[in-house]
A and B are shown apart, each in its own frame.
Chain A
Amino acid sequence: MADNLFTVEIITPDRIFYHGEASMIEFNTTEGEIGVYKDHIPLTTVLAPGIVTITQEDSNLKQAVVHAGFAEILGDKVTLLAEIAEWPDEIDLDRARRAEDRARARLEKREANLDVARAEMALKRSLARQDILAGKR
C-alpha cells in the first residue's frame, strides 16, 4: 500500500489548509473532473468550484470545497492553490442557499450591466457548498 502514496497540499492565502499523504485525489478543473494517482504526468491546471476528495492512506475519504485557484501536479506531489477552501463543517447551509437564489435571480433578470461570468461562478460556488453537505459527489 505504502508505495502508491503521494503528498497532497492545499494552500489558501490564510493558511495551509491541508497537508498529508494520499493515494488518490479527485477535483474539478475548468476542463472537467480529474482524478490523480501517484506518478501522474506533470500538469498545471485551473480549478473550478467543486468538491475535492482525498483518499487517505487508510482509504478514508476526506472532502472539502475549493473555489477558484489552480493545481500543480507532479509525480509525487499535488499542490492545490485555492483562493477559498472550506471543510464541510465550516459551511453555512442557509447562506449557501441564499447565495444560490441570489445568483439565479440575477442570471434570470439579465440586467444590462450583469457580470454573467461572476454570477455563474457564484452559483457554482453555492451549489458546490450545498452538494458537499448533502453528501453527494
Chain B
Amino acid sequence: MASMRDIKRRKNSVSSTQQITKAMKLVSTVKLQKARNRAEESNPYFNYMYKTVCSMLAKAGEVNHPYLQKSDSETKAIITITSNRGLAGGYNSNVVKAITGSGLSPEETVIYAIGNKGEEALSRKGYEILASYPAIIEEPTYEDAMEISKILLEAYAEGKIGEIYLAYTHFKNTVSQEPKLLKLLPVEINDEDISEESATSLMNFEPNEEEALDMIIPKYVTSLIYGGLVEAVASENGARMQAMDSATSNAEDIIADLSLKYNRARQGSITQELTEIIAGAEAIS
C-alpha cells in the first residue's frame, strides 16, 4: 500500500487540477453564452441568403455560370475551422476526421486553415497548408470572412482550384456538436428547396440573373464562411465546457477514492503503532 504521504500528495495535486478544470468550465460557459448569441443573431441573415440563392437558381435554370459549373482543375480547397487551443475533448480531431474520412486525397487537396490545431494535425497527415489564419478564430468578424472568400474566389476564377469545401463544427445545442464538411462551390442546392421556392415566387432580377448571380454568389459564400466561423466558436466552447465538466467530475471521483485510501492507511498506521506499543509494554512487564 502506498504511504500516507504519497496518497496525500496525489490528492492535493488532483484537487488543484480540479480547480483549474472547474475554472475553465466556468470561463467556457460564459464564452459559450456569448458565442451562441452571435450564432443565433447571424442565423436570419444566413437563412435569407440561402432562400434567395435557391430561388435565384431556380429561376436562372440553365445559366452557364462559372460558379455553378465544375471547373477543370482537380484541386480541392478545404477551409478548415478549428480552435487554437486544445482541452476541448474531441472537438478538433473530429473536424480532422471529417476531412480524412471524406475520401478527398491529400495529394489533390489544399488547406486554408483557420485555427492552429487543425493546421498541425492536417500537415502531419500530409495535407498541403496553403494559408493559415490563426488569429481569426479568436474573434471572427464578417470582414474576416470577406477576406477569405475573396482569396478563394480569385483562386477559383483563375482555375487554380476546382472545388471549395468548408469543414467546421455545426452547433446543434450545448451538449451536441457535429463536424460537417460542406461544399461551397460549385453551388449545389437541395432539389427540394428549389422546387418549393420556385412554385411560390415570381421574381424579377435587376440587373439580369447572370449579373445578379455574379454579385450574390460571393456574398453567399462569405455568409457561409461567416456562419461556419461563429458556429465553430460556439461549438468549441460547448465542447470545452463538456470536456471540463467531465474532467471535474472525474477528479471528484478520484479524490473520493483517494480519501478512502488515505483514511485506510491512516487507520492502518494507528493500529500498527498501538500493536507495537502494547507488544513493547508486555515485553517490559
Contact = CB atoms under 8 A, between A and B. Distances in A.
Contact of A13 (B142, B203, B211, B215): B142
Majority SS at the chain A contact face: strand
Interface string B186-227: 000000000000000111111100011001100100110010
Interface stretch (A40-48, A56-64, A101-109): A40-48
Given A70-B215, A81-B52, A14 B41 contact: yes
Given A13-B42, A13-B142, A83 B219 contact: yes
Interface footprint category on B = 20 to 34
B49 A46 contact: no
Secondary structure call for the B interface? helix
Given A14-B42, A70-B52, A72-B52, A44 B203 contact: yes
Contact of B226 (A11, A13, A79, A81): A13
Nearest to B203: A42
B142 A14 contact: yes
Contacts of A69: 219
B216 A83 contact: no
Interface residues of A, number: 24
A70 B212 contact: yes
Contacts of B142: 13-14, 83-84
Given A70-B212, A81-B52, A83-B146, A46 B207 contact: yes
Contacts of A12: 45
A7 interface: no
A16 interface: yes
B56 interface: yes
Contacts of B46: 13
Given A31-B206, A72-B52, A83-B142, A46 B215 contact: yes
30 contacts: A11-B48, A12-B45, A13-B42, A13-B45, A13-B142, A13-B226, A14-B41, A14-B142, A16-B41, A30-B207, A41-B204, A42-B201, A42-B203, A42-B204, A43-B204, A44-B56, A45-B205, A46-B206, A46-B211, A46-B212, A46-B216, A70-B52, A70-B212, A70-B216, A72-B48, A72-B52, A72-B203, A74-B201, A81-B52, A83-B219
Interface of B: 38, 41-42, 44-46, 48-49, 52, 56, 142, 146, 201-207, 211-212, 215-216, 219, 222-223, 226
Q: Which 5 residue pairs spanning A and B have beta carbons closest together?
A: A45-B206, A13-B142, A43-B204, A11-B45, A46-B215
